[in-house]
Structure 1
Amino acid sequence: MKPSEVLLAEPRGFCAGVDRAIEIVERALAKFGAPIYVRHEIVHNTYVVNDLKAKGAIFIEALADVPPGATLVFSAHGVPKSVEREAEQRGFRVFDATCPLVSKVHVEVAKLHREGYEFIMIGHKGHPEVEGTMGQLDSGIHLVEDVADVARIQPAQTDKLAVVTQTTLSVDDAADITAAVKARFPHVREPKQQDICYATQNRQDAVKLMSKAVDVVIVVGSPTSSNSNRLREVALKLGTDAYMVDSAEELRAEWIEGKTRIGLTAGASAPDILVQQVIERLRALGALSVRKLDGVEETIKFPLPKGLKLDDAGESSLGHLS
Structure 2
Amino acid sequence: MVELNSVEEALDFLKSDASLPTDVSDVKFGGELTQFRVLIEGKKYHSTVPAALARGLWDFQEELYRAVAFALYGEDNIRRLTDEQKAYFELVFHVAEGSSDLIASLEGFFDKLADGFQNMDSSHKMKTLIAVVLTVAVVWGATNIVETWAETKQHEVTTAAEVKGKEIAVAQTTAEEAAKTAQFQLIGQIAKDNAVVGRFAKATEEGTRSIIKGAADADNIKIGRTNFNRSEINEVNQRAAKERATAGLSRGDYQVIRAEARVGGITRFWLQDERGQEFSATVFEDEFEAKGVNRLWESFRGRKKISLEVNATTIRGQIKAASIVRVFEQDVTINSTRPTDVVSTN
TM bracket, shorter-chain basis: under 0.3
Query: Greater helix share, 1 or 2?
Result: 2
Query: Greater strand share, 1 or 2?
Result: 2
Higher CA-based Rg: 2
The two structures have a TM-score, normalised by structure 1, of 0.28
The two structures have a TM-score, normalised by structure 2, of 0.26
